[in-house]
């Protein structure tokens, strides 16, 4: 539904009448309009302007921000028209009108009405009975009202309103559908982004782990490489020694050979504790 200036006026008029229309004209298409500027431009008392604004505010049709005047110490209110709220108010008002017209139509079709020929009053059956079918204003005899024209007018207005509300309903449904589709699209996009972000995070964690592992491995390798080189440095002289040792080895071999031969000596040694004891005795005797 397109909120035409006429529709805005219709809504405002029903709440604050003509004075409201001038006020809304000053607010339209602007934001945060100072209430003092409004009062000056409308040439109206600030209290009256505020009263109208509060009426509209109670229907949520305007919003405000306020700022403290540092010199004077009071608050100045800045007002903005809420176009979406005006649109909803417009639809609400139309629905209320439709309900009211339908109730009136029902009553007109069901009941009989009586009128004064001088058009002073129009009364239903009960009221007419109360006045004994005489006009309470001028005393004329009341006549039954021919209301078929009124009924057809009501029918026309109701039909028009229904068409308008149906069109609004459709356009609002489309708007809501579009908004829902857009919201869904945004939600999916956000989800995809969140997923991508978490994937990226996971990849980052894996990458970091790999890096850490690689560092650890590198450190290990470096350490073992150092050891090797250290060993190699220590080992080099050995190699040199080994070279020299071939003679020694030969000597060592000879030694082990000698040892093998010498083993029987150990058996001889085993017998020696007695000898030791004997020597101990000898020392004790001394
Ligand atoms: Zn009368």
Output the CA 134–ligand 1 centroid distance in Å.
Answer: 8
> What are all long-range contacts of 9-18, with beta carbons under 8 Å and residues at least 24 apart?
10/90, 10/93, 11/61, 11/86, 11/89, 11/90, 11/93, 12/56, 12/61, 12/86, 14/93, 15/55, 15/56, 15/59, 15/61, 16/52, 16/55, 16/56
Domain boundaries, the chain: 1-82
Whether 20 has a pLDDT exceeding 80, the answer reads: yes
Output the CA 129–ligand 1 centroid distance in Å.
Answer: 15
pLDDT tens profile 187-222? 999 999 999 999 999 999 999 999 999 999 999 998
pLDDT at 225: 84
The class (CATH top level) of 1-82 is mainly alpha
Output the CA 212–ligand 1 centroid distance in Å.
Answer: 103
> What is the band of 236 on the pLDDT scale with cuts at 50, 70, 90?
low
Output the CA 136–ligand 1 centroid distance in Å.
Answer: 7
Closest among 1, 2, 21, 19 to 11, alpha carbons compared? 21
**Mean pLDDT across 217-242:** 74
Its pTM stands at 0.62
Pick the more confident residue, 254 or 182: 182
Ion ligand 1 contact residues with beta carbon within 5 A: 116, 118, 120, 135, 137-138, 140
pLDDT tens profile 120-131? 999 999 999 999
Output the CA 125–ligand 1 centroid distance in Å.
Answer: 16
CA distances for 275 relative to 9, 70, 269, 270, 272, angstroms: 136, 119, 10, 10, 5
């Amino acid at each position: 539904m397109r909120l035409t200036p006429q529709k805005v006026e219709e809504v405002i008029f029903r709440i604050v009448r003509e004075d409201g229309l001038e006020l809304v004209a000053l607010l339209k298409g602007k934001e945060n309009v100072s209430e003092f500027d409004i009062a000056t431009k409308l040439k109206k008392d600030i209290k009256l302007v505020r009263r109208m604004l509060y009426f509209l505010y109670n229907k949520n049709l305007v919003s405000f921000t306020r700022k403290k005047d540092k010199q004077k110490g009071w608050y100045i209110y800045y007002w903005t028209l809420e176009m979406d709220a005006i649109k909803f108010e417009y639809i609400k008002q139309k629905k209320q009108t439709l309900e009211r017209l339908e109730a009136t139509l029902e009553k007109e079709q069901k009941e009989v009405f009586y009128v004064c020929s001088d058009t002073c009053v129009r009364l239903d059956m009960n009221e007419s009975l109360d006045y004994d079918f005489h006009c309470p204003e001028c005393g004329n005899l009341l006549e039954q009202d021919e209301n078929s024209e009124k009924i057809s007018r009501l029918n026309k207005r109701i039909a028009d309103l229904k068409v308008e509300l149906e069109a609004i309903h459709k356009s609002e449904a489309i708007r809501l559908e579009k908004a829902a589709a857009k919201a869904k699209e945004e939600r999916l996009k956000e989800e995809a982004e969140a997923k991508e972000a978490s994937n990226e995070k996971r990849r980052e964690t894996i990458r970091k782990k790999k890096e850490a592992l690689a560092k650890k491995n590198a450190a290990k390798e470096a350490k073992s490489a150092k050891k090797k080189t250290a060993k190699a440095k220590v080992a080099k002289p050995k190699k040199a020694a080994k070279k020299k040792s071939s003679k020694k080895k030969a000597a060592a071999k000879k030694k082990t050979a000698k040892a093998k031969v010498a083993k029987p000596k150990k058996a001889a040694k085993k017998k020696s504790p007695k000898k030791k004891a004997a020597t101990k005795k000898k020392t004790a005797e001394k």
